[in-house]
Chains A and B, each alone.
Chain A
Amino acid sequence: KAGVTQTPRYLIKTRGQQVTLSCSPISGHRSVSWYQQTPGQGLQFLFEYFSETQRNKGNFPGRFSGRQFSNSRSEMNVSTLELGDSALYLCASSYRLAANPSTDTQYFGPGTRLTVL
């Protein structure tokens, strides 16, 4: 079974631009979560989607948004990029039968390395 895939793997943008990152979960997984990883702040939760609905959100500004499609693929968007948005953005997927709120085993992709100049 293929793992979580993220595209692109590397991205360079300039301040003020916007960016869209893509995540394809493991086949059959319906929950997708996004995390930001930086040397200073570590791994921080951005948001989680299940069946196209955002169910939880971390403490990030509204410039960070996401969505999930009917095939469970997810995208996250960052608008008006700032230097501090430079990070590794990780997507994780998990298998879930129903929309219960507990925590499943999450499988992470390799991440998208975003550099903002």
Chain B
Amino acid sequence: QQQVKQSPQSLIVQKGGISIINCAYENTAFDYFPWYQQFPGKGPALLIAIRPDVSEKKEGRFTISFNKSAKQFSLHIMDSQPGDSATYFCAASLPGGYNKLIFGAGTRLAVHP
């Protein structure tokens, strides 16, 4: 019930292509869904986040699509660049969670020139 399942585990995309990473959850009480980007040797950095009252949120080349009925959300990276090569984590938290984030297992993205 507390898990967030992320797929794929790894992804290879050509420069200029679209990268798509998916996450699924069971607990319908989750009310906050952020995506984090992590480069080797660094801590995760917030990319974009969404709450369940919105079906889509876009910030630059990054878009979150949220499907409440399917209990799924995804990250789309448009015009992927080699600099986007990193590990991406989806996460979720409960209301009253006091900042406790439940993370997916991560997706290692490699963007080839």
A residues contacting B by CB (< 8 A) are 4, 31, 33, 35, 42-45, 48, 50, 55-56, 58, 90, 92, 94, 101-111
B residues contacting A by CB (< 8 A) are 31-32, 34, 36, 41-46, 49, 89, 91, 93-106
Known: A42-B106, A101-B95. A106 touches B46 (CB 8 A): yes
Minimum CB–CB distance from B15 to chain A (whole Å) comes to: 28
Question: Whole-angstrom distance between the alpha carbons of A44 and B100 in the complex?
Answer: 9
Residue of A nearest to B95 (CB): A102
A43 to B89, Cβ gap below 8 A?
A: yes
Which of A44, A45, A90 makes the CB contact (< 8 A) with B43? Answer: A90
Known: A43-B89, A103-B32, A103-B93. A108 touches B99 (CB 8 A): no
Question: Whole-angstrom distance between the alpha carbons of A55 and B96 in the complex?
Answer: 10
Minimum CB–CB distance from B1 to chain A (whole Å) comes to: 14
